[in-house]
Amino acid sequence: MLPNGTLIGEMISFAILIWFCVHFIWPHINKAIEDRQIKIAEGLNAAERAHAELKDADHKVAAEIKVARQQASEIIDKAQQQANQIIDKARGEAVTEINRLKASAQDDIASMAQRARDLLREQVGALAVQGASKIVQREVDASTHKALLDQLAAEI
């Protein structure tokens, strides 16, 4: 059965309708679909990227901690060395100071002994002169015999 004019007219209108849908309605629907696809793809990508970044950050943190720990132990070592050095230095200084003090004390002792010996010698000299004058029963002029007495005192 052939289509009549009514059906042909309706088909022409229908074709125009389809054309309209293809050009003015479908693009909007298609855009909504593609926007959704893009949005989902972006979301998934972002999530993946964030995941990778987190992993990266974790690795970085671990490395940093390792370095920090190493540095800390190095600092401790250095500090210990320094402390040892300071102690050694202080010990050395103390020893030299002790030696110095000991030497000066010995010097003092030696000079004091010398002085005491000199004093003693003079007094012995005087005693000897006195003794000799008493024995000789006469005045011995100390000044005339000074050279003799000095020699005597030095011999003691």
Contacts with other proteins, residue ranges (CB under 8 A): 1, 3-14, 16-17, 20-21, 25, 29-30, 32-34, 36-37, 40-41, 44
**Contacts of residue 122, Cβ cutoff 8 Å, sequence gap at least 6:** 153
Nearer to other proteins, 16 or 120 (CB): 16
Minimum CB separation of residue 58 from other proteins in Å reads 25
Minimum CB separation of residue 54 from other proteins in Å reads 20
Handedness of CA 121, 123, 127, 130 (dihedral sign): positive
Residues of 123-136 as b/e, b for ≥16 C-beta within 10 angstroms?
A: eebeeebeeeeeee
Nearer to other proteins, 5 or 135 (CB): 5
Nearer to other proteins, 1 or 136 (CB): 1
Nearer to other proteins, 11 or 83 (CB): 11
Minimum CB separation of residue 29 from other proteins in Å reads 7
Minimum CB separation of residue 34 from other proteins in Å reads 8
Minimum CB separation of residue 56 from other proteins in Å reads 23
Residue 149: other Cβ atoms inside 10 A = 20
Contact criterion met (CB below 8 Å) for 124 and 91: no
* DSSP 8-class letter at 139: -
Nearer to other proteins, 40 or 120 (CB): 40
CA–CA distance from 41 to each of 8, 37, 47, 80, 107 (Å)? Answer: 46, 6, 10, 58, 97
